[in-house]
Structure 1
Amino acid sequence: MLEVTMSRTPIREGVKTILLSAAILAALALQHGQAHAQDIRTTIVAGGCFWCVESDFERVEGVIEVVSGFSGGTVANPSYRDVISGGTGHLEVVEITYDADILPYDGLLRLFLRSIDPLDAGGQFCDRGETYTTAIFVEDAQERDIAQVAVREAEGTLGAPLATTIRDAAAFYPAEAYHQDYYRSNEIILTRFGPRRKSVAYDLYREACGRDQRVLDIWGSEAAFAADHLN
């Protein structure tokens, strides 16, 4: 019996090793499959001040990255000064990279429309002019159809036509590094309130501009993000 027991031990251990290896490979294959199952997309929207739209959407589950920039115009690689001076045709926009398995495109647009004043054709809140008008940039016919449904739904809720336009996707130009993640930067800058961290200056600007109160006035309980800033 001793010889039999000893002869079976290596076999048993070998089987355990094979099963363990198979389990590890299966787990790795599953993990690899899950990683590739993600539906990573990008979209561009214009919602007035890009600092605010970036701040709002970076907190949304499924959003991977938000970059402030410009789109819709005729001038390549414009500077911020170029755009706000007029004549470039560009709008302040954000490029949102997101996982559509977590945040579907229609859900993203629903949040977007409820975070702006889509009735205003002349800008957004205290920021006036074409540069600050609102738009949804679509890549293809499918996105256009989804955007049209989102706009019609919003019009039905508000009982008025939207000024937010649906436009063909155009080249996106990131704004200068100074503008990226402005809302959470600790860099000290000189403002009309004196020296302030960018994050503090951003909060002061957003409150003074009346963005969140206006969004609540329009959308009520459907407003996205606004209540968080006013509490």
Structure 2
Amino acid sequence: MEKTTQLATFAGGCFWCMVQPFDTLPGIKKVVSGYMGGHTKNPTYEQVKTGETGHFEVVQITFDPTLFSYEKLLELYWPQIDPTDDGGQFHDRGSQYRTAIFYHSQEQKMLADQSKQKVENSGVFKKPIVTEILAGTTFYEAEDYHQDYYKHEPTAYKEDREKSGRDTFINQHWQNDHQK
């Protein structure tokens, strides 16, 4: 029997803001907030937020590629971020808020590289694209209170997102057809 789901892992700054764009699409089985890419085993949020563990805040998406392709996930990922900022995302500063695509197969790596090249060639940004494409490593699920934050704390989520400058940036730099 063929495996019907795959993983996609994206770092796009605060993981709270990266769940909702993917969460309710057809073929998306689940979106989990967590940490990847660091050197500390079983890190906590308190450890990761110091920037000393080397982890990125990420969302790990379990998806059915026959219903929603990895290419479509990449097309949706890029317009959620500022791919030129190597110091974090919007008002969230620090290495844990950098952007990255963590690939789980050579095909994903190839597709991620192609999508990054497409963004670089688009002319949308004057500064270089600094989003990294990295091999997926151990995924550590974030604490329960971080999961589906936009659903459980809608007012706080909306306020944080507005203050962050994310939506203003998205509206200024990405075409509206990429947004949810």
User: Residue type of the partner of 1:215?
Assistant: I
Q: Deviations over 1:66-101 (max 9, x none)?
A: 000000000011000000012100000011001101
**Structure 1 unaligned regions, length at least 5:** 1-35, 186-197, 226-231
Does residue 174 of structure 1 match 2:129?
no
What does residue 44 of structure 1 align with? 9
For 1:83-94, list aligned pairs within 5 A: 83-94=48-59
**Structure with a larger share of its residues in helix:** 1
After TM superposition, the score normalised by the length of structure 2 is 0.93
**Structure 2 unaligned regions, length at least 5:** none
Does residue 104 of structure 1 match 2:59?
no
Aligned pair count?
178
Matches of 2:143 and 2:44, distance apart in 1? 7
What does residue 28 of structure 1 align with? none
Q: Is the 8 A contact 2:7 2:104 kept in 1?
A: no
Q: Deviations over 1:45-85 (max 9, x none)?
A: 10111011012210222211000000000001100000001
User: Which is greater in Rg?
Assistant: 1
Q: Deviations over 1:10-31 (max 9, x none)?
A: xxxxxxxxxxxxxxxxxxxxxx
Given the superposition, is the C-alpha separation of residues 159 and 200 from structure 1 closer, same or farther in structure 2, using an over 3 Å criterion? closer
Q: 2:22 aligns with which of 57, 72, 76?
A: 57
Report sequence identity in percent.
40
Q: Deviations over 1:98-135 (max 9, x none)?
A: 11011111111111011111111111111011110000
Does residue 151 of structure 1 match 2:151?
no
Matches of 1:114 and 1:60, distance apart in 2? 16
Q: Is the 8 A contact 1:215 1:223 kept in 2?
A: no
Secondary structure (helix, strand or coil) at the match of 1:108 reads: helix
Matches of 2:118 and 2:112, distance apart in 1? 10
What does residue 204 of structure 1 align with? 159
Offset of 1:156 from its aligned partner? Answer: 1.6
| Alignment RMSD | 1.5
Matches of 1:168 and 1:112, distance apart in 2? 17
